[in-house]
A and B are shown apart, each in its own frame.
Chain A
Amino acid sequence: MTVPVALATGGTAVEQAWAVSCAVADPELPLVTIGDLGIVRAVDIDAQGCVHVALTPTYSGCPATAVIRQDVVDALHDAGFGQVELRTVLAPAWTTDWITEAGRRKLNDNGIVPPSGVAEQGRVDLAFSVRCPRCESLDTRLVSRFGSTACQAMYRCASCLEPFDAIKPY
């Protein structure tokens, strides 16, 4: 689950800008950072000292995108980077496969099931069972294919009867 990262070989300033960008919390799922979600695609610093950050949206219409962009600019300004340029990259398209192991753990610990299986193997109508984040039962039912954010679906556990959200493999 490695993320292709165009991390320039510019040394510590770039690494710091990279770390600051990745540490920005997702506004809709603040328990994970945008680094955890894999939406920071590239960080670079040009000869004039301007930081260039490439971000990719999760879903085309994700309403968090504008907030994330502003938060990245603010975080970099706060860290002492004066000039920041953002750009949006659409291809390759974001996939839940880019959510890091740490991100998956944090989601699960907070009652949101990370995506089950791998999205990149093409569309298969079979899916893995989704494990209840509370009682770990595999006896769960999909309630709705659409959830509280664009990237989630709603489930209910048939064992402990709790409803929960899961990130859909995408």
Chain B
Amino acid sequence: MTEASDPAAAALFTYALRLGDDALVLSQRLSEWASRAPEIEEDIALTNIALDLLGQARALLDYAAVVEGGTRDEDDLAYVRTEREFFNVHLVEQENGDFAHTIARQLFFSTYQLFLYEELISSTDELLAGVAAKGVKEAAYHHDHAAQWTVRLGDGTDDSRRRMQAAVDRLWPFTAELFDADDVEKGLAAQGVAVDPATLRPRWERAINDTFATATLVIPPTVWTSHGGRRGVHTECFGYLLAEMQYLHRLHPGASW
């Protein structure tokens, strides 16, 4: 990696990639629902959400490329980095599973992203503040969508409740990582550039608790938690996602429609 030698720029580069990779990878996962959703309205909903996230990812990856010094562009960052160079959390790379799994993943992530963007609007970094100002409206819509489905499935039939709870139980261990902060976040947060994600956790837990109460779902006991995505260590399924996402560009570099 040709990371910027200036430590402040290197931190900003990493932070922009962390936020951008979350959006990019979740966008890729949601795109897998195209033509496969349970009903046409959901097909459109999930791919619309994917499109919003892709837009956020492009702005953030483009910014990371500029901060790095312009040797790479957004496409290089999306399509030519290897698995260990991606800094997204494990939650967003988890497979779609059934519709309940996708909704649980959406609820956990969109609640986090909504609160993150609400704070990031005040960033002293003009680009990050701009992405957040735009993204906060999208995240609010994504959160409403996920929360409504969580209630409908949780407080639904015996089968939908069982499957929604199973999805929550399966994905819960991946939620702790959303609030991991290392020197990158802490250092940039001290300068007013970044948001320390650990500060979002109490609000996030309250919001999830409220939705689960209405949905008659329960938060499972925390047996283990998953970490490492922010350092480029990923779960097994991520390699397969990257292979599919990057295949065309690696085979035909610079291909366009």
Interface residues of A (CB under 8 A from B): 57, 59-63, 89-94, 123, 143-148, 150, 154, 170
Tell me the bound Cα distance from A60 to B58 in angstroms.
9
Rounded to whole angstroms, the CA-CA distance of A62 and B50 in the bound complex is 11
Q: List residues of B (101-134) whose CB comes within 8 Å of A's CBs.
A: 126-127, 129-131, 133-134
User: How many angstroms between the C-alpha atoms of A143 and B45 in the bound complex?
Assistant: 12
CA–CA, A144 to B37, complex, Å?
Answer: 14
B56 A92 Cβ-Cβ under 8 A: no
Decide yes or no whether B59 CB sits under 8 A from chain A. yes
Tell me, in angstroms, the Cα distance from A147 to B145 when the chains sit together. Answer: 13
A148 to B144, CA, bound (A): 19
Residues of B within 8 A of A146 (CB): 41, 44-45, 48-49, 145
Q: Determine if B138 is an interface residue (Cβ-Cβ < 8 Å).
A: yes
Q: What is the CB-to-nearest-CB distance from A109 to chain B, in angstroms, rounded to a whole number? A: 25
A170 CA / B135 CA spacing, docked (Å): 12
Quick check: A90 and B127 within 8 Å, CB to CB?
yes
Q: How far is the CA of A93 from the CA of B53 in the complex (A)?
A: 16
Q: Which of A94, A144, A147 has the most CB of B within 10 A?
A: A144
Q: Decide: A154 and B41 in contact? CB cutoff 8 A.
A: yes
A151 to B151, CA, bound (A): 25
Contact of B134 among A57, A123, A145 (CB under 8 A): A57
Q: Find residues 9-25 in chain B having any chain A CB closer than 8 Å to their own CB.
A: none
The reply to whether B141 and A60 form a contact with Cβ atoms under 8 Å apart is no
B208 at the interface (CB under 8 A from A): no
Q: Is the CB of A90 within 8 A of B51?
A: no
Interface of A is mostly: loop
Binding site for A on B (CB under 8 A): 27, 41, 44-45, 48-56, 58-59, 126-127, 129-131, 133-138, 140-141, 144-145
Is A123 within 8 A of B140, CB to CB?
yes
Q: How far is the CA of A63 from the CA of B56 in the complex (A)?
A: 12
B55: contacting residue among A59, A147, A154, CB under 8 A? A59
Nearest A residue to B134, CB-CB:
A93
Task: Please pick, from B48, B136, B144, the residue contacting A150 in the complex, using a CB distance under 8 A.
Answer: B48
Q: CA–CA, A91 to B51, complex, Å?
A: 20
Chain A residues closer than 8 Å to B135, beta-carbon distance: 60
Shortest C-beta distance, B7 to chain A (Å), equals 26
A2 to B41, CA, bound (A): 35
User: Which of B53, B56, B137 has most chain A Cβ within 10 Å?
Assistant: B137
Smallest CB separation, A150 vs chain B (Å): 6
Tell me, in angstroms, the Cα distance from A57 to B55 when the chains sit together: 10
User: Other CB < 8 Å A-B pairs besides A145-B145, A146-B145, A150-B48, 5 of them?
Assistant: A62-B51, A91-B133, A123-B140, A150-B52, A170-B137
A61 and B56: CB pair below 8 A?
yes
Closest to B41 in A: A144
The smallest beta-carbon distance between A42 and chain B, in angstroms, is: 15
User: Contacts of B126 on A, CB cut-off 8 Å?
Assistant: 91
Q: Flag if B44 contacts A90 (CB, 8 Å).
A: no
Cβ contacts under 8 Å, A63 to chain B: 51
Assess whether A93 is in contact with B137, with CB atoms less than 8 Å apart: yes
Residues of B within 8 A of A59 (CB): 51-52, 55, 134, 138
Min distance, Cβ A28 to any Cβ of chain B, angstroms: 12
- Evaluate contact between B127 and A144: CB separation under 8 angstroms: no
Q: Contact: B129 with A91, CB < 8 Å?
A: yes
Residues of B within 8 A of A144 (CB): 41, 44-45
CB distance from B62 to the nearest CB of A (A): 10
- In the bound complex, how far is the Cα of B45 from the Cα of A147, in angstroms? 8
* Contact between chains at A150 and B51 (CB < 8 Å): yes
Whether B51 pairs with A61 at a CB distance below 8 angstroms is yes
The interface residues of chain B lying within 8 Å CB-to-CB of A92 are 133
Instruction: Give the distance in Å from the alpha carbon of A144 to the alpha carbon of B51 in the complex.
Output: 17
Q: Which residues of A contact B134 (CB under 8 A)?
A: 57, 59-60, 90-91, 93-94
